[in-house]
Amino acid sequence: MSDPNQPSLPLPLPVPLNPFRPGAGQQPIYLSGRTKEQDTFRQMLKQNPVTQNAIVTGLRGVGKTVLLETLKPIAQNEGWLWTGNDLSESTSLTEDRVARRLVVDISTLLGPLVAFSLTTPAIGFGATANQETRQLSFDDLWSIYEQTPGLTIDKIQAVFVRVADLIKDAPIKGIVFAYDEAQNLADHSSAKEYPLSLILDLFSSLQRKWYAKQFLLVLTGLPTLFPKLNESRTYTERMFHVMQLDRLSDDDAREAVVEPLKITKSSLGFSANTVEVIVKMSGGYPYFIQFMGKEVFDAWIGKITQGEAPSAPMDEILEKLDQDFFNPRWVRATDRQQQFMQVIATLPNGEDEFSVPEIVKASRIKLKTGFSPSHAVQILQALSERGLIYKNRRGSYCFAVPLLARYIQRQAWDPTSLHPGS
């Protein structure tokens, strides 16, 4: 019982819920932009027969995974089944493991939907064969795989021919197979294993034949994915429609900041100035928008729980972003590689694409010991393997991490490495 003589304490105001969601694969409260990609995909679902599959590529944090997640209900509304997986876990990928992955995914999807009838041979004289009907299981399909002679591709094809037959009367248009982080199929495959080619060969063979139901492949991955596909099979150029995700336009970036606050009816809002600062400093990259939005929001609920955050403590937020996001990637490079990237960051086009001669020239001006062209190529290769650089479709190089050039510009040079005149 409370004492009526005691003055009652003011009730604390409820702490507003932070509506920003930085983090790999975290569905944002409001998915900004990307309607063009969703429309394109909706059109692709109308193909009959399917001749084009979809690829979604872009830098880390640009929103591939969350876009893929929104394609699923679109496909389902158009009468497709959807299955798939994230390929990031499979560190050493073999053809056999990828085949198994496909069979697991298809049997998990179809298990509850398809009745599988199998006839067990009669045992003994005068016995009649047993007809048994039950749910389709992984083993039913895997045994087809194991019993088919030949190469992995022959085996997996045999499974899918059976699947096509099982679903031929189902009230669906077909099945979408969606695989995220698909660059791993090429990057982390074991020696003499071609899991990427296996998938390409399987889908192209399914799409060349006439089946009552369609099979559509959707691959998502880093920008290295498409060149890898082309290296692996030359026909892939025609087999895929590539959707390259980029930073959001200023208008879409603004909506990505403002809408989550509106949708959650947040009692704490951002001033117009704060919104502009986030749009500018994030470069329109979705992950950075979510990160900065979350940080500004948290910084202000500490001080006020209602009203408008009048300003954004951007220096502190940048510091935190450096700690959480950039530093762990930066330290993957050696001192000399870091110098190399510092040289790139001095180029006026360091945020876009750059070439070996440009780096070599700038390094000779900036550093005591510059880089030779062959050394530069070698370092670019090493940095690609560390996920810091990639070679684009035109053969130029780019940073593989968004806004990395700006981060590098914030790093101090080793004074002993600098050219005296620079």
Ligand X SMILES: Nc1ncnc2c1ncn2[C@@H]1O[C@H](COP(=O)(O)OP(=O)(O)O)[C@@H](O)[C@H]1O
Could you list the residues that contact ligand X (CB under 6 A)? 21-26, 28, 31-34, 58, 60-66, 256, 286-287, 290
The entry of Mg ion, ligand X, none near residue 19 (CB within 5 to 8 angstroms by kind) is none
- Closest CB to Mg ion among 72 and 364? 72
The entry of Mg ion, ligand X, none near residue 390 (CB within 5 to 8 angstroms by kind) is none
- Closest CB to ligand X among 152 and 266? 266
- Closest CB to Mg ion among 26 and 43? 26
- Residue from the set 32, 53, 57, 65 that interacts with Mg ion by CB under 5 A: 65
Q: Is 56 helix (H, G, I), strand (E, B) or coil?
A: strand
| Minimum separation from the CB atom of position 64 to Mg ion (A) | 5
- Closest CB to Mg ion among 21 and 64? 64
- Closest CB to ligand X among 16 and 33? 33
- Nearest 5°: the CA angle 226, 61, 355 is 55
The entry of Mg ion, ligand X, none near residue 213 (CB within 5 to 8 angstroms by kind) is none
| Minimum separation from the CB atom of position 274 to Mg ion (A) | 28
| Minimum separation from the CB atom of position 183 to ligand X (A) | 11
Other Cβ atoms closer than 10 A to 281: 17
- Closest CB to ligand X among 16 and 58? 58
Give the DSSP per-residue string, 117-135.
Answer: EEEEPP-STTPPPEEEEEE
| Minimum separation from the CB atom of position 75 to ligand X (A) | 18
**The two structure tokens encoding residue 281:** 């400093």
Alpha-carbon span 10 to 15, nearest angstrom: 15
- Return the exposure string of 184-217: e unless at least 16 CB atoms fall within 10 Å of the residue's CB, then b: bbbbebeeebbbbbbbbbbbbebbeeebebbbbb
CB 94 within 8 A of CB 187: no
- Which residue number places its CB atom closest to Mg ion? 65
CB 86 within 8 A of CB 105: no
Q: Is 221 helix (H, G, I), strand (E, B) or coil?
A: strand
- Choose the stretch contacting Mg ion; rule: CB under 5 A; options: 62-70, 121-129, 221-229, 414-422: 62-70
The number of angstroms, rounded, from the C-alpha of 133 to the middle of its chain's C-alpha atoms is 40
The entry of ligand X, Mg ion, none near residue 155 (CB within 5 to 8 angstroms by kind) is none
The entry of Mg ion, ligand X, none near residue 23 (CB within 5 to 8 angstroms by kind) is ligand X
- Of 171, 99, 174, nearest to 141 by C-alpha is 99
- Closest CB to ligand X among 69 and 78? 69
Give the pairing of strands 174-180 and 80-86.
parallel
Alpha-carbon span 330 to 338, nearest angstrom: 8
| Minimum separation from the CB atom of position 93 to Mg ion (A) | 17
| Minimum separation from the CB atom of position 407 to ligand X (A) | 17
- Choose the stretch contacting Mg ion; rule: CB under 5 A; options: 57-65, 222-230, 245-253, 293-301: 57-65
Strands (E), 107-250: 115-120, 130-135, 174-180, 214-221, 240-244
| Minimum separation from the CB atom of position 394 to ligand X (A) | 22
- Closest CB to ligand X among 291 and 407? 291
**The two structure tokens encoding residue 271:** 């001033």
Residues near Mg ion (CB under 5 A), total? 2
- Of 368, 354, 357, nearest to 400 by C-alpha is 354
- Closest CB to ligand X among 30 and 138? 30
Other Cβ atoms closer than 10 A to 371: 22
- Closest CB to Mg ion among 64 and 213? 64
| Minimum separation from the CB atom of position 159 to Mg ion (A) | 28
Longest Cα separation, the chain: 99
CB 313 within 8 A of CB 298: no
- Which residue number places its CB atom closest to ligand X? 63
- Of 317, 332, 339, 325, nearest to 417 by C-alpha is 339
| Minimum separation from the CB atom of position 364 to Mg ion (A) | 39
180 DSSP 8-state letter: E
| Minimum separation from the CB atom of position 180 to ligand X (A) | 7
Peptide bond just before 49 cis, omega within 30 deg:
yes
Supply φ then ψ for residue 205, to 5 degrees: -70, -40
Contacts with Mg ion by CB under 5 A lie at 64-65
